[in-house]
């Protein structure tokens, strides 16, 4: 296998992994083709039917109007056939000299037929309106429930699941569900009612001709099955290659500078061309095979017309049926074969609906944080914090925090120091009850945090993280996120204390400047200043600072450090530090290594001890 082929194999493997995580490329093709089959089709359809139960009256009304439109459409040809019979009889009478054409009767029949078809169109319009309401209301309810579900899920769920997967469920899957649900229910109702109605009228015209027409059904089913079986494989291949080329483009453009730096432009072009060629091959085959459905069904239908015309002529000569009945029956044959094709398409749509619904229900049924009814008044608690032989691991069999014990007095600034993966951030997550300890206890004011409601625990902390988070809104709204009722003066004062006021004034619109979705219209350092201002404004009793000045320059860092010292004064503060220069003034430094405290003390004490902390410090500042 050449290097190029190996690269393509790796790309397809990455695509397969994405599919396992629920990734599906966007766009019409990504939405309309089933890229994965539901694991539990029957169970998922049952859940979906129960969910749709809240719209049962609307669905029932749509069913009634579907019956109405079908009844009108079915009796239309029968009524119109009487005009043909009347016209034929009039011509024969005129030729024989016994009478003429009764144009008044023909006009009455034609007006009646027009009214019938208008009634069918009106019923179909109302049915479509109702089903559109049901499908879009279903999407609305799903999105609402997913949004509410997100707030009830534990942090661990989002650490195990990619953000893209969650977004795919709330956008692509719900959108696919809405489109296919509208199409599927509408087509299913119309096809079933049409088949039943047409079959009943055909039987009333002539039983023998109807039985012959029914031979079309097995022939149609066999052809449909053969075509679908072959085209579906090509559709799956098309989606796999589409995912591969989509992922390839995403990776190449996101790492464009690296590609150019290592001179891999031609290799990237070759890889794209090979993937694009495979996409072309699978796409034209899938479209060609699926395009055979209509002409094959037309051929079978036309054969039915020929048989019906021959048999109808024989029966007309024998006086069994009229000429108008033959014309009506031929039209009914067309109306009979069309819904059979629709049912084949509905089967694919239902599978697509079930696949999307399964992923949505899987998210809605994910395990939530348990509901707590705890009533500890945190305002009465002191901010003393005690770690009492804490043990924790994301995998219970593999402990990250093994036996951690420490006491933090109210108002102290405590710094967590240690190598990457030592457990510093994990301790903060345990403090805020994003996770609960698996052994020992964490106490605030002498009360185990597990006896305090999660929202009350988190309301005690202000946070400034290394990974800044800003939302699409004004600068003022972002600063006031932790205190929505803050006045403009309070917001500006917090910005001044965080040394953000000056740069905010330079922005177009100042505090009313709109920050875009990814906050790319301001620099990384400015984003961090805004999150620090947010912490100033929220004025919580305890603070968590995770390398809060990592994205600002040295001079600004010194000024912010002074402001942070003012902010932390009198508050219990937990600081995760990588740049050890920022924690020299901490009251207590806990040096963590492999989940345990290996050293603790002040900066000067730890340097004098010449241990692990001294090694870390000297490594950063040695010449």
- Summarised one tens digit per residue, pLDDT across range 194-242 is 788 778 878 888 888 888 878 777 777 777 777 767 776 776 677 667 7
Instruction: Inform me whether the pLDDT recorded for 8 exceeds 60.
Output: no
Tokens of 247: 């992922």
pLDDT, tens digit, 9 for 90 and up, residues 559-590: 667 767 777 777 888 888 777 767 878 888 88
pLDDT, tens digit, 9 for 90 and up, residues 338-351: 777 677 667 667 76
Give pLDDT, residue 22: 41
**164 close to 381: Cβ distance less than 8 angstroms:** no
pLDDT cut 70: percent of the chain above it: 85
Give pLDDT, residue 551: 60
Pick from 476, 467, 465, 466: which is nearest to 504 by CA? 476
Give pLDDT, residue 179: 81
Give pLDDT, residue 546: 79
**pLDDT bucket at 511, cuts 50 / 70 / 90:** very high
Phi, psi of 276 (to 5 degrees): -65, -35
Higher pLDDT, 301 or 142: 142
Instruction: Inform me whether the pLDDT recorded for 47 exceeds 80.
Output: yes
Alpha-carbon gap, residue 189 to 566, rounded angstroms: 70
- CATH architecture of residue range(s) 3-364: Up-down Bundle (1.20)
Alpha-carbon gap, residue 166 to 186, rounded angstroms: 29
Give pLDDT, residue 24: 39
Spell out the domain ranges in the chain: 3-364, 378-621
Pick from 595, 604, 608, 539: which is nearest to 567 by CA? 539
Range with the lowest mean pLDDT among 5-19, 80-94, 341-355, 601-615?
5-19
Residues 137-160: what's their mean pLDDT?
A: 85
**pLDDT bucket at 540, cuts 50 / 70 / 90:** confident
Give pLDDT, residue 20: 43
Pick from 567, 607, 603, 600: which is nearest to 582 by CA? 603
Candidates 3.40.640.10, 3.40.50.300, 1.10.3720.10, 2.50.20.10; correct CATH number of 378-621?
A: 3.40.50.300
Instruction: Inform me whether the pLDDT recorded for 295 exceeds 50.
Output: yes
Give pLDDT, residue 27: 34
**pLDDT bucket at 489, cuts 50 / 70 / 90:** very high
Residue 560, C-beta contacts closer than 8 angstroms, at least 6 positions apart? 498, 499, 529, 532, 548, 549, 552
Give pLDDT, residue 3: 42
Specify the DSSP element, H or E, that contains 440: strand 439-444
Read off the pTM: 0.64
Q: Among 9-13, 388-392, 426-430, which range has the highest average pLDDT?
A: 388-392
Give pLDDT, residue 476: 92
Give pLDDT, residue 479: 92
Query: Please, where are the H alpha helices in 435-509?
Result: 454-458, 475-479, 488-497, 501-506
Instruction: Inform me whether the pLDDT recorded for 300 exceeds 80.
Output: no
Instruction: Inform me whether the pLDDT recorded for 461 exceeds 60.
Output: yes
57-94 in b/e burial notation, b at 16+ Cβ within 10 A? eebebbbebbbbbbbbbbbbbbbbbbbbbbbbbbeeee
The answer to whether 3-364 and 378-621 have equal CATH topology is no
């Amino acid at each position: 296998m050449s290097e190029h082929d190996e690269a393509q194999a790796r790309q397809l493997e990455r695509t397969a992994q994405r599919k396992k995580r629920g990734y599906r490329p966007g766009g019409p093709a990504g939405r309309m083709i089933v890229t994965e089959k539901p694991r539990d089709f029957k169970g998922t359809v049952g859940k979906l039917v129960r969910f749709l139960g809240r719209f049962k009256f609307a669905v029932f009304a749509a069913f009634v109007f579907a019956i109405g439109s079908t009844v009108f459409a079915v009796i239309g040809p029968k009524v119109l056939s009487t005009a043909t019979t009347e016209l034929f009889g009039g011509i024969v009478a005129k030729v024989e000299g016994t009478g003429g054409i009764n144009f008044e009767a023909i006009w009455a029949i034609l007006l009646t037929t027009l009214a019938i078809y208008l009634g069918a169109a009106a019923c179909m319009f109302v049915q479509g309106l109702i089903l559109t309401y049901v499908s879009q209301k279903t999407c609305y309810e799903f999105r609402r429930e997913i949004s509410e579900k997100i707030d009830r899920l534990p942090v661990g769920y989002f650490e195990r699941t990619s953000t893209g997967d969650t977004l795919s469920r709330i956008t692509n899957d719900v959108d696919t569900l809405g489109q296919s649900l509208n199409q599927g229910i509408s087509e299913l109702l119309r096809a079933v009612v049409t088949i039943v109605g047409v079959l009943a009228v055909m039987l009333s015209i002539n039983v023998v001709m109807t039985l012959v027409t029914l031979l079309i059904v097995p022939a149609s089913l066999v052809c449909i099955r053969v075509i679908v079986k072959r085209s579906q494989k090509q559709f799956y291949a098309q989606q796999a290659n589409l995912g591969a080329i989509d992922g390839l483009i995403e990776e190449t453009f996101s790492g464009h500078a690296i590609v150019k730096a290592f001179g891999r432009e031609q290799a990237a072009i070759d890889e794209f061309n090979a993937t694009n060629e495979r996409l072309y091959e699978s796409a034209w085959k899938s479209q060609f095979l699926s395009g055979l459905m209509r002409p094959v069904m037309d051929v079978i239908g036309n054969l039915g017309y020929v048989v019906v015309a021959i048999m109808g002529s024989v029966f007309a000569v024998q006086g069994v049926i009229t000429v108008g009945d033959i014309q009506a029956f031929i039209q009914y044959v067309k109306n009979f074969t069309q819904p059979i094709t629709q049912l084949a398409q509905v089967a694919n749509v239902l599978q697509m609906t079930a696949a999307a619904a399964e992923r949505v229900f899987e998210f809605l049924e994910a395990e939530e944080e348990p509901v707590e009814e705890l009533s500890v008044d945190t305002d009465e608690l002191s901010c003393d914090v005690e770690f009492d032989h804490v043990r924790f691991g994301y995998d219970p069999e593999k402990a990250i925090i093994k036996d951690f014990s420490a006491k933090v007095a109210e108002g102290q600034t405590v710094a967590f120091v240690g190598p990457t993966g030592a457990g510093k951030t994990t301790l903060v997550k345990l403090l805020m009850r994003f996770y609960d300890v698996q052994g020992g206890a964490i106490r605030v004011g002498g009360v185990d945090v597990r006896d305090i409601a999660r929202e009350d625990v988190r309301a005690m902390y202000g946070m400034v993280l290394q990974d800044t988070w800003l939302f699409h809104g004004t600068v003022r709204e972002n600063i006031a996120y932790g205190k929505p009722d803050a006045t403009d003066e309070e917001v500006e004062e917090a910005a001044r204390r965080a040394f953000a006021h000056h740069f905010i004034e330079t922005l177009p619109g100042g505090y009313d400047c709109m920050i875009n979705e990814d906050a790319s219209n301001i620099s990384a350092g400015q984003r961090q200043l805004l999150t620090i201002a947010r912490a100033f404004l929220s004025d919580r009793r305890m603070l968590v600072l995770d390398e809060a000045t990592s994205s600002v320059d040295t001079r600004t860092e010194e000024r912010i450090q002074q402001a942070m010292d003012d902010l932390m004064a009198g508050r219990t503060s937990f600081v995760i530090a990588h740049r050890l220069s920022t924690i020299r003034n901490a009251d207590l430094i806990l040096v963590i290594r492999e989940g345990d405290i290996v050293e603790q003390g002040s900066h000067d004490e730890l340097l004098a001890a010449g241990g692990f902390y001294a090694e870390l410090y000297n490594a950063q500042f040695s010449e």
